[in-house]
Amino acid sequence: MKNINTFNFKDKKAIVRVDFNVPLNEKFEVTDDNRIVAALPTIKKIVETGSVILMSHLGRPENKEPQFSLKHILPVLSKLLGKEVLFVDDCIGEKVKEKVQNLKNGDVLLLENLRYYKEETKGDTAFSKQLAELADVYVNDAFGTAHRAHASTTIIAEFFPENKMFGYLIEGELNSLRRVLDEPQKPLTAILGGAKVSTKITIIERLLEKVDNLIIGGGMTYTFIKAQGGKIGGSIVEDDYLELALNIIKKATELNVNLILPIDIVNANKFAEDAETIETPVNEIKDGWMGLDIGTKTVELFTKIILESKTIIWNGPVGVFELDKFSNGTVQIAKTLTEATKKGAFTLIGGGDSVAAISKYKMEDKVSYVSTGGGAMLEFLEGKDLPGISAILKS
């Protein structure tokens, strides 16, 4: 397999799938440039000797609406790269071919939004071929879309049987996920939070086969507590999943996994910043109250387990962290993860809300790896085949 680090890009044109699906404000200014920053190492490496054709999607255009044009990204991209970035207002066709022909080593050309063509998400072969014909090499560096079999993420790879590879971002993601799933230093602990059991069930089942400790927090807690006969008041619960929760507890025992649920809880009398709050044992929530964050004893318990672990993966907040009043548990988990990292543990944070939490508290640089691909990472953890990854790996 070809590798971005050792491949000779001299005099080559590389078409690079990046994820520039970034948020814009009403003036079409980029409000969060993380995804653009994440693509820079790959772009910089290639332009040392060759040229780069960048392709991405932005939003979900129906009919080539101008607000979804990638030209809005240009100023930020040029500034971050420290060089002018060329742009063409299409991604296939004569105009594009002409621009590409004139590319010199060191040039960066950004193509227009791939999703202006329905063929992109349909994974159309003819469209993929037109993209492929622009370049000598294909580099996929869009982990966030690696779970989609789209033209630019998967089908295009068929046209580069020899010259296809991952960029640095995908390589980093895969290395850190494998470090957790394939050869973790033990003890391995997973912390799973978030609203519902139903969306995490496959991940829980898969992780049970791998981890020493499985910490459960967040809204999922109450389905487990109710299943065991606890009183959960008005807390969020999935009644259809009570039996499944009991099965998970049983399976954990069989597999010798330490399944750790919260022991105490911050209860609120309403879902609001100005709610009244009290702490009670997790299974003694009164009617009219709901559990919205983990309690003091639970923070202590989780902290101890995390600090004894050598590898830790965290997905999903342990409380309603969007409201400051219920963010303490999630903040403490984030802090403990930075402490564990300092002590030498490998810590991987992934999934939209835990990433949002860790960046809200400005701790991204103090953990080992923050995964950028929400859905893709979850599917990888579930053990699913990601078409964008397989397309590069298969010979």
Least distance (Å) from ligand AMP to the CB of residue 310? 25
| Type of residue found at 38 | A
Segment near ligand AMP (CB under 6 A); pick from 34-42, 63-71, 145-153, 194-202: 194-202
Question: Side-chain half-sphere of 58: how many Cα atoms within 13 Å?
Answer: 26
Task: Answer yes or no whether residue 196 interacts with ligand AMP by CB under 6 A.
Answer: yes
| Rounded-to-integer distance, Cα 55 and Cα 112, Å | 7
Residue of 195, 246, 249, 307 interacting with ligand AMP (CB under 6 A): 195
> Whose Cβ is closer to ligand AMP: residue 86's or residue 192's?
192
Site for ligand AMP in 342-361 (CB under 6 A): 351, 353
Task: Answer yes or no whether residue 233 interacts with ligand AMP by CB under 6 A.
Answer: no
Say whether 123 is catalytic. Answer: no
Residue of 184, 262, 291, 387 interacting with ligand AMP (CB under 6 A): 291
Q: Are strands 213-216 and 188-192 parallel, antiparallel or unpaired?
A: parallel
Least distance (Å) from ligand AMP to the CB of residue 313? 14
Task: Answer yes or no whether residue 295 interacts with ligand AMP by CB under 6 A.
Answer: no
349 with 335: CB under 8 angstroms?
no
Segment near ligand AMP (CB under 6 A); pick from 132-140, 256-264, 315-323, 339-347: 315-323
Quick one: CA torsion of 93, 94, 97, 103, rounded to 10 degrees? Answer: -130
| Rounded-to-integer distance, Cα 323 and Cα 346, Å | 29
Taking CB atoms within 8 Å and a gap of at least 24, the contacts of 20-28 are: 20/54, 20/56, 20/57, 20/58, 20/70, 20/73, 20/77, 21/56, 21/57, 21/58, 21/59, 21/144, 21/145, 22/58, 22/73, 24/67, 24/72, 28/67, 28/72
Question: Side-chain half-sphere of 255: how many Cα atoms within 13 Å?
Answer: 20
Say whether 352 is catalytic. Answer: yes
Q: Phi then psi for 259, rounded to 5 degrees?
A: -90, 120
Segment near ligand AMP (CB under 6 A); pick from 141-149, 154-162, 193-201, 303-311: 193-201
| Rounded-to-integer distance, Cα 395 and Cα 382, Å | 24
Least distance (Å) from ligand AMP to the CB of residue 146? 20
Least distance (Å) from ligand AMP to the CB of residue 225? 11
Say whether 233 is catalytic. Answer: no
> Whose Cβ is closer to ligand AMP: residue 195's or residue 307's?
195
Six-digit token string for 43: 């772009």
Task: Answer yes or no whether residue 236 interacts with ligand AMP by CB under 6 A.
Answer: yes
Q: Per-residue string for binding with ligand AMP, 144-183, x by CB under 6 A?
A: ----------------------------------------
Say whether 383 is catalytic. Answer: no
CA distances from 229 to 225, 226, 283 (A): 7, 5, 8
Residue of 199, 228, 277, 390 interacting with ligand AMP (CB under 6 A): 199
CA distances from 294 to 14, 218, 262, 265 (A): 49, 8, 6, 5
> Whose Cβ is closer to ligand AMP: residue 351's or residue 388's?
351
Q: Phi then psi for 370, rounded to 5 degrees?
A: -115, 115
Task: Answer yes or no whether residue 322 interacts with ligand AMP by CB under 6 A.
Answer: yes
Q: State the burial class of residue 287 (Cβ atoms within 10 Å of its Cβ: 0-12, 13-18, 19+).
A: exposed
> Whose Cβ is closer to ligand AMP: residue 50's or residue 351's?
351
> Whose Cβ is closer to ligand AMP: residue 167's or residue 219's?
219
Least distance (Å) from ligand AMP to the CB of residue 370? 15
Task: Answer yes or no whether residue 219 interacts with ligand AMP by CB under 6 A.
Answer: yes
Least distance (Å) from ligand AMP to the CB of residue 333? 12
Residue of 144, 167, 184, 194 interacting with ligand AMP (CB under 6 A): 194
For CA atoms 52, 57, 62, 65, the dihedral sign is negative
Task: Answer yes or no whether residue 316 interacts with ligand AMP by CB under 6 A.
Answer: yes
> Whose Cβ is closer to ligand AMP: residue 68's or residue 321's?
321
262 with 293: CB under 8 angstroms?
no
Residue of 39, 261, 292, 376 interacting with ligand AMP (CB under 6 A): 292
Maximum Cα–Cα distance for the chain, whole Å?
71
Least distance (Å) from ligand AMP to the CB of residue 148? 19
Active site residues per annotation: 35, 196, 352, 375
